[in-house]
Structure 1
Amino acid sequence: MGLLSAVFGAPLAPLKGTVWVAEQVRGEAEKRYFDPGAIRRQLEEVAGARERGSISDDEADALERELVGRLLEGRRRRTEEDR
């Protein structure tokens, strides 16, 4: 059975490799997107921009809500992975 699966599975090998690479890229992108340190730095940048008057309070509030949402989602995902 191993020979048959190798013969019939060989044409799918490039596809499996492509899927593996895509999964690795997605995983790394998610890790960076939900990285607590990066999110905290972005929150500090938003606070600084608000203090300088570069962005309005409404814009800063919206950005902060998005960033805190990402922080909470990242924490939830890490908790699920630990289970």
Structure 2
Amino acid sequence: LWCYVEQALEQLPPTQRLIVVMAQTFRWSETRIAAYLQAEGEVISPKQVREQLRSSYAQLEAALPDDIRAIYLENHSLNDSPVSVP
């Protein structure tokens, strides 16, 4: 599974990939991600971070082969992942 996710992540634009990594790996909230990106010169709000996450999760899910999606996401979607961590 990881190799498919890694390949799909490589297809995301750099900012979207960074947002996904910060949300999933570091468990950062949309507000914290937006603040970090703003400090780096990006113009982005927490709402836009949330939208980027939803879009990224949809792209990642679509990039998975059908059989892998059926096995690992049978009753779930990547969009079911919590987008905001307190």
Decide which structure has the larger Cα Rg and report it.
1
TM over 0.5: no
Higher helix share: 1
TM-score (norm 1): 0.37
Larger RCO: Structure 1 or Structure 2 (Cα < 8 Å, ≥ 6 residues apart)?
2
TM-score (norm 2): 0.36
